[in-house]
Chains A and B, each alone.
Chain A
Amino acid sequence: MLTKNDIEIATRAADHFTRLYYATYDSATRVDDLPKLYRPSSALVWNGKPFQGSDGVRKLLSGMPITKHDVQSFDCHPIPGSQPPSLMVIVSGTVVHGKGPTGNPPNTPVKSIDGQPRVFSQTFMLVPDPNAPPTTTGEVAKYYVSADAMRFVG
């Protein structure tokens, strides 16, 4: 069974992860840095299109307009069955691509939704990497993204 401590550590990990993930995604160095959170075996699906592993992430991001994510809610469950447990994290927020509304042509109608922030929903499965030895004090394990499903939903 899950202990309070499991839940607490999992929650903190999810908090840390979501900050790190979207800050990296929105950075100028995302193509080099975001793939580090994945492994070759990771599976991701971006708006229904599959990509494989760190290389897939790199390929996806190298063709992505610049982004600005805003996390509005997230939740996390430890999934029993492995030790330490895998984590499932669901995130809801908005993302602006390119220059946002200010980047629209001057003749854009006021009622146009183009360029406006999109709502996104992203779910991650985070699993411990058995091959990565702890590097800092108190580190339970090093986790990576083993599965990732992202959709624009609004």
Chain B
Amino acid sequence: MLSSPSPAPSGRSIAASALRRAGLMERDRDERMRDVSDKPGGRKGTQKSRSRAHPHRPRAIDAVTGKDLPGASNASRASMLANRLATGESIAIRGASKGTLGRLRRNAVSGGPSTDIATESRVIGLWREFVNKRWNSSAKFLNLERIAEDEYVRRNALIPAGSSGSLHKEFSVIFKLASKLTPEVETVSLAHNNIISGSTIIGLPRYLPKLANLSLEGNKLRMWKDLDYISGRRGKLEHLRELVLVGNPLRELEYGNHQPDRYKGEIARRFPSLEILDSEAIAKIAFDVPQASTSTAAPAQPAATTFPCEMGSSFLTGVDGGIISNFFMRFFPLFDTQRSALVDVYHSEATFSFSANTTIPARARIEGYHTSKEMPNQRKLEWSHWLIGIHGGSRNLNRMGGGVEKMTKTLHVGSEEIVKTISALPSTRHDVAGAPEKFCVDAFPVTHGDSMHLFVTVHGQFIEEPVHGIRSFDRSFMLAPAPEGSRAKQNGWDVMILSDQLVVRAYSSHEAWKPGPMRVQAGDPLVPVASPAQLPPANAQAQGQLQEALSSIPEPQRSLVMQICQRTGLNVAFAVQCLEGNGWDLERAIANFEQVKGTLARDAFL
């Protein structure tokens, strides 16, 4: 249904040009690809033919480092430095045990105290020079490709000879130096650096948190967790717009297994801000993000110290309350005693999932609902029955460590699978008949595509067996009228379930939704608050809304809906519902409206 935006030529070329602009892609990618394929194993191949410049990758650095420098003097300088470094105990970064910068402290770049400041600052100086050589300030692009092959780096032995392993410390120094560049670095390429673990570049998000474009092309990243070292959560690269991972095993393996969507999903989930991955746009759903400009213009208002309205009782509108109560009075007892029988009420493509919120709520803790002697069974409740299970367990997307696989596995689609899943959940007892105040329902109709659905939320509690402890739950349903002849209708259900989402949480008292005024702070007087009157919309606006709502209704029905709106004053949604309930017979609908109009809420009308 939602398909990734096809990599249309135009989209691709936009992405490619953006990449070029950002310096993440060479001018002629194809030419370069051929070039690389001429030399399998690229990196090593070029090392052997060191004297040969890389004709396909012209670099500013080549001009600076030049091949004309006397090799001998380079060698001696390098060895001199190497010798000094080998004995220079004080040149270090915290946590490092070996390597050129073996024991350079992390704050060494900013010149912390040291017993050998001269050597230390000399190494830092060399790296600073390297960073400056690789920095293109007009493009805000720091090109850190193929560092180990760099003439200047080799000449100065900045990377220990024979070092095949992680350049973690070197990268940390480079990133810290990069963080001092002006203008701020926007784009970094770390392509072809033989990076085998994300931990090597853990300094990247630390020092360049606002990075927009990053290439890790041609490295050896293999595991998803490698990306977690830099991925866009908790302040790590939260602004990353474009990422290139071409040529890393973690990408190539997924493509090899024909799972590009899985790959894209795993990456997109880790970098929520990402727009372009490997030169292709990432499909995403957008929202109207508040603009910073308007935010500053907002007048400072003193915040209210009371709630704008009281806690209200269950709110049902646009739907016969009997339908909702019949549904729940049948649904919950079956859920408690005979879950397999619920197969009839779920639509054949319905969705179900449950999630566990295991946090103990502050108010319930103070009241002693989880630890008091009066409620001994609460301590016996275990979350493990909900968190894990044969059908995938809790789908709390806030804690979805398992990635796309778990996300898919825990969403149950179709009545048969749903019934299988709910049958494996812990036993429950919902006392809907005995204690109605312990449940609270809000329900109203919503338009969905061409039809009206019911949006229903219910909050309440159940006893979990066999330990007989109490839990609270929230459950939201999308319901639709059961059509004549449907499995639901044939089995006596007026509605069928399209979507069912259950949240199970630690017990809180139903006092939470007791109708009446609520306190913000202790000591606040509980004075009744009148509900703010819903002002009828201005006439022109109402007409506009009417036209807007009508435009989505196909023609044969549209004129009927319009007539109902005009004759009854009902809004479009309710007019549609009224007509649907009366077989699209205008006069029957009007007669039906006359019978029930006294019970309709204000917002049923225009």
Contact = CB atoms under 8 A, between A and B. Distances in A.
Interface string B397-410: 11110001001100
A98 to B, nearest CB: 4
A146 B549 CA distance: 13
B295 A33 contact: yes
A29 B357 CA distance: 29
A118 B311 CA distance: 13
B90 interface: no
Contacts of A90: 355, 474, 476, 501, 503
B413 interface: yes
Contacts of A98: 303, 305, 520-521
Interface residues of B, number: 114
B349 interface: yes
A9 B519 CA distance: 40
B601 interface: yes
A87 B476 CA distance: 12
The listed residue with most B CB atoms (<10 A of its CB), out of A1, A11, A15, is A11
Contacts of B300: 28
A82 to B, nearest CB: 4
Q: Max chain B CB contacts within 10 Å: which of A31, A75, A85, A142?
A: A75
B396 A84 contact: no
Contacts of B383: none
A7 B2 CA distance: 9
B361 A119 contact: yes
B118 interface: no
B7 to A, nearest CB: 11
Interface string A15-54: 1110110001001110111101100110101111111100
A146 to B, nearest CB: 6
Contacts of B5: 138, 140
A153 B474 contact: yes
B250 interface: no
A47 B516 CA distance: 10
Contacts of A151: 440, 442, 457, 459, 474, 512-513
Contacts of B284: 9, 12-13, 16, 138-140
Interface string B245-258: 00000000000000
Contact of A5 (B2, B519, B524): B2
A71 B601 CA distance: 32
Contact of B275 (A83, A87, A88, A137): A137
Contacts of B432: none
A36 B289 CA distance: 8
B398 A72 contact: yes
Contacts of A40: 537, 541, 545
B476 A80 contact: no
A126 to B, nearest CB: 8
11 contacts: A12-B268, A52-B603, A65-B304, A73-B399, A74-B396, A75-B354, A75-B397, A79-B499, A94-B362, A111-B366, A151-B513
Interface of A: 1-17, 19-20, 24, 27-29, 31-34, 36-37, 40-41, 43, 45-52, 56, 59-60, 62-66, 71-88, 90, 92-94, 97-99, 103-105, 108, 111-119, 121, 123, 125-128, 132, 134-144, 146-147, 149, 151-154
Given A103-B521, A121-B503, A151-B440, 10 more contacts: A17-B287, A28-B300, A36-B288, A50-B602, A75-B503, A88-B478, A90-B474, A113-B363, A153-B472, A154-B364
